[in-house]
Amino acid sequence: MKTPAPITIRADCSDKQLNEAVMLHVENLSMSRVFRVADYATDANAVLPLLEKEPGCFKYWSSPSPRVTYFKDRNCDHPFHYAGTAPTFCRAACFALLRAHGVTVKD
């Protein structure tokens, strides 16, 4: 049995590509079933519910550039976490969530 290739996305991807990656790998939705992709990359109202889902928690830092750290359990001081850094909160959150779901983000 062949091992599947790791899923990778570039940090400089377009908002459309980032939205589709979140939809496929975080929301587990198929492109064939969706009429409109949510705007996770630019709309906090779309990405915040994903961060707030049980059992995870997240922390956010705004300086020097937006950074979101996502923990898969409620212990926000746990040393094992997934981080995303980007020019905006929404993109940083998307990258942290994608990493938490096994996607490699290439800087």
State residue 81's pLDDT score: 86
Work out the widest C-alpha separation in the chain, in whole angstroms. Answer: 46
Any domain includes 38: no
Banded pLDDT at 1 (limits 50, 70, 90): low
**Is 20 strand, coil or helix?**
helix
Residues in the chain: 107
Do 84 and 74 form a contact (C-beta atoms < 8 A)?
A: no
The structural domain count of the chain equals 1
Region of 102 (left: φ > 0; alpha: ψ -120 to 50; beta: rest) is left
Banded pLDDT at 94 (limits 50, 70, 90): very high
For the stretch 35-91, pLDDT in tens is 777 899 999 999 999 888 867 788 898 878 899 988 877 777 777 889 999 999 999
Do 51 and 72 form a contact (C-beta atoms < 8 A)?
A: no
Structural domain containing residue 60: 55-107
